[in-house]
Structure 1
Amino acid sequence: MKLEENAVAEILKDVLEQGERTQKVIENLERKLEHKDGQITSLIKGFEDRFTNIQVKAPAPDLSPIEDAIASGLTNIIQTIEKNPRPINRQLRLTLFPEQVRNPEYYQVMMRWLVWIVLGSLFMILGYMLLSKRLG
């Protein structure tokens, strides 16, 4: 029994020593962590101080070309206003082909309509002539 008690006592002593060493390592790591935390805090503070004091000074822009363009545009507008207004010419124009649309498909459709209108008109005239001869 005494042997077992000695073995248990030695095991407990080893466990206690191991726990003490672990505690020392943990305390050492906590100190290092606090030191690193202090360093990081000081770095962040230095970074914030550096970037809060930044002042960007842009050179004054050269607006003389823009001012010249505006002035010349205004003089043109004033000269146009000072001239007498042109008379409005109203024209009644019937265009078969519009001036803005230049698609070949439009021309084909319009020519097809024109051919059908001419053929229809010719058919109606001939029909009228035939009916007037028969009835008259």
Structure 2
Amino acid sequence: MKNEATVIDEVTMTDMLKNIFEHEEKMQKYMETQAVAIKEKDTVIERLLTESKKQKEEFATKLANMKVTAPAPDLSVVKEAITAGLAGITKNMATDFVAIREMINRGPAPITRKLQLFTDAKTPEQYKAVLSWIVFGLIGLVTSVGTIMLIWHYMNLTHVR
């Protein structure tokens, strides 16, 4: 293809240029309105920033000047509880010392030994464990005695002939 020049008549050219200039003017107006809006927003932001800085400084000064004074604690209830507890402890210690002294004076108690299947607690788990061993032992004993008797009987039958 050859580079051919496009022929545009004068009316079309003026129409196109007119449209371009109108579009350019509209864009210029739009950009100006946007610039004004941005400047307004910037001023609002600056105003809000200065207000927040003021509030921050005011709060800092109020916080620095704030003083909290707590009333003196009333420890009388705690003191009464401690004295009552100590009185009870000393009273119990005196009776405990008397009981300990009597036990020492009585001497050692004789040891009684006895065979028990179960402890004094007698929990169901203990019963289950001990009785299961007894049952399995009896089953094993009966089975072994029966087997021995069968073998003995078979030996007697084969020996006689």
User: What TM-score do the two structures reach when normalised by structure 2?
Assistant: 0.47
Equivalence for 1:23: 35
Gapped regions of structure 1 (runs ≥ 5)? 113-136
Gapped regions of structure 2 (runs ≥ 5)? 1-9, 132-161
Structure 2 CA distance for partners of 1:105 and 1:90, relative to 1, 3 Å: farther
Equivalence for 1:33: 45
Equivalence for 1:115: none
- Greater Cα radius of gyration, structure 1 or 2: 2
Deviation at 1:67, TM superposition (A): 1.6
Name which of structure 1's ranges 56-65 and 83-92 shifts more when overlaid on structure 2: 83-92
Match of 1:59, SS? coil
RCO comparison, higher one (Cα < 8 Å, 6+): 1
Structure 2 CA distance for partners of 1:13 and 1:105, relative to 1, 3 Å: closer
Match of 2:77 among 60, 65, 71: 65
Hey, what's the Cα distance between the residues in 2 that align with 1:51 and 1:94? 78
Cα RMSD (Å): 3.9
Aligned length: 113
Deviation at 1:103, TM superposition (A): 4.7
Equivalence for 2:137: none
- Structure 2 counterparts to residues 1-136 of structure 1, below 5 A: 1=10, 3=14, 4-77=16-89, 80=93, 86=101, 87-88=103-104, 89-91=107-109, 92-94=111-113, 101=121, 103=123
Structure 2 CA distance for partners of 1:90 and 1:61, relative to 1, 3 Å: farther
Structure 2 CA distance for partners of 1:103 and 1:23, relative to 1, 3 Å: same
Deviation at 1:31, TM superposition (A): 0.7
Hey, what's the Cα distance between the residues in 2 that align with 1:94 and 1:66? 51
Deviation at 1:34, TM superposition (A): 1.1
Q: Percent of aligned pairs with the same residue?
A: 22
